[in-house]
Amino acid sequence: MLNDRLGVTAMNLFHPFLLFALGLLTASQAAAAFILPDAPAGTATEFAWWDGFTDPETNFQLPDPGSTVPPLPDGEGNPVNRPEADNTDARLYQTGTSTGFITSTQGIYSFAAPLSFLIHDVPAFQTESVLLQTRSIGGLPDLDNAAIFYRESATGPLLSAGAAQAGDGFLLDGGNAFAMWEWDLSAFNVYDLFITFNSIGTSMSLQEVQLDTFDAVTNNLGVALRITTNANFATVGEIEHNRLGESEPRASYQVGDVVELTPVIDPIFEHVFVGWLGDLSGDAVPATLTIDEDPLVQAVFAPLSYEGWTSNNINPFITNPSFSERSPADADPDADGLTNLLEYALGTAPEAFTPPSERPHLDVEADGSIRFAHCRQMAAQDIEYRVEVSPDLVNWHHNGDGSGQTYTEQVGPAAPNGDGTETVTVQPTSTLPTSEKLFFRLRVLPSQP
């Protein structure tokens, strides 16, 4: 699962109780939280806030657009539970799986299947824009697939207002993840709203939701800068960003802004920054990006050690078998024949079957030449890789084996894979003994001090 990072700042006094909380925060990236929405003077607003849940699952499915919406289950779902909220008729439902349950932190979670959420609200005025924000633990919602639907009357058909005009999210220390979406509904005659969003996989626990509606068009996200990392279960690295010449992050930017991005490493997880993808390339620190209409940057972090890799690749939310049973180097939790140590070395998933295409393999080129390709960790300090060749599966040779010969040579530069690994391709040299057969193998060894 890939996770995003966006710094946000407080804007006005729209929620004075939130402003008080933000007064306790520092100006650092890790202090980011919900956006305080900015509304034009005289704008009518409503605010709903859930900071815990009591109903983990509702057997209800929103129909396709054009259909009549069946009655929402009476007495089910999660009511707004913060006294500061002035919109108390909004309700949140989890409709994706019957395996959802309420956690000890009053979040909604499922071990077995992804979660799907539905919010229903009847605004007190003609709504022209909506801002939705969530806080979750372990992962972000699917930022690209939140959608809003509406009816023009209580008995009218369901209509689609489409995907969000802007959506973004970020992962913070401690596993907290914040996501936000904004919709412009000024072209629609809205009686009531149905907002849908869902988790990616089963690693997300929904903890908190805020919903703001306005009778004017707002632009709280502007151009959202989407920054993803290759974090799965640990905050292996974060990205600080600010407009060039400024020192604090913005909730959003404008087209043409030049933004400086700097990776920040958490030494607890033993990863290092190795490069940029998306609208940036290379590995410059800091890097600068000129904002366009849809900026997307991926920051890639690579593990330094086996322990750092397990923290991000062995699911800590599975309790049977336990993490301690699934994480040893000689364990094979997905039973695909590759131990965790080999999965680490090859950059493959330890708890999902690794297909042959992701394992070391031989390729025969059009000219008949042989090439051997394998993945390797870009920053690992505790393992070494050795490609060995043999004409008979008995006598094995490798560069540096004391014979003074070179048996393989690398073909071109290693190719980064965007996940902290790179693919290395080698071919045999002319110093190999003449033979009708040639075998390759990859050995992973502990690094020599």
Residue 120: inside a domain: yes
As a whole number of angstroms, the distance between CA 311 and CA 270 comes to: 9
Cβ–Cβ under 8 Å, residues 47 and 133: no
Confidence of residue 24 (pLDDT cuts 50, 70, 90): very low
Q: Is pTM beyond 0.75 here?
A: no
Structure tokens at 351: 């708890």
Res 51: pLDDT: 93
Residues 316 and 388 in one domain: no
Residues 204 and 232 in one domain: yes
**pLDDT tens-place string over residues 238-283:** 888 889 998 877 767 888 999 999 999 888 899 999 999 999 999 9
Cβ–Cβ under 8 Å, residues 230 and 236: yes
Residues 274 and 400 in one domain: no
Residue 301: inside a domain: no
CATH of the domain at 411: 2.60.40
Residues 345 and 368 in one domain: no
Residue 112: inside a domain: yes
Residues 341 and 370 in one domain: no
Q: Tokens 């993840």 belong to which residue?
A: 177
Rounded to the nearest integer, the mean pLDDT of the chain is 85
Res 15: pLDDT: 29
Residue 205: inside a domain: yes
Cβ–Cβ under 8 Å, residues 258 and 241: no
Residue 302: inside a domain: no
Closest CA to 272 of 377, 140, 424, 423: 377
Residues 150 and 133 in one domain: yes
Residues 324 and 391 in one domain: no
Question: What are the angstrom distances between the C-alpha of 342 and each of 270, 325, 377?
Answer: 18, 17, 11
SS3 state of residue 87: coil
Confidence of residue 434 (pLDDT cuts 50, 70, 90): low
Using left for φ > 0, alpha for ψ between -120 and 50, and beta otherwise, residue 402 falls in: left
Residues 116 and 219 in one domain: yes
Question: What are the angstrom distances between the C-alpha of 61 and each of 16, 133, 186, 197, 446?
Answer: 36, 22, 27, 13, 53
As a whole number of angstroms, the distance between CA 189 and CA 123 comes to: 12
Beta strands in 174-295 (DSSP E): 176-184, 192-198, 205-214, 226-229, 237-243, 258-265, 271-278, 287-290
Residue 306: inside a domain: no
Residue 252: inside a domain: yes
Confidence of residue 228 (pLDDT cuts 50, 70, 90): confident
Confidence of residue 153 (pLDDT cuts 50, 70, 90): very high
b/e map 210-241, b = 16+ CB within 10 Å: bbbbbbeebebbbbbbbbbbbbbbbbbbbbbb
Residue 307: inside a domain: no
Confidence of residue 176 (pLDDT cuts 50, 70, 90): confident
**What is the domain extent for residue 389?**
360-446
Closest CA to 143 of 119, 167, 159, 127: 167
Res 350: pLDDT: 93
**pLDDT tens-place string over residues 284-330:** 999 999 998 778 898 999 999 999 999 999 988 788 899 999 999 99
Confidence of residue 10 (pLDDT cuts 50, 70, 90): very low
Domain count across the chain? 3
As a whole number of angstroms, the distance between CA 123 and CA 214 comes to: 9
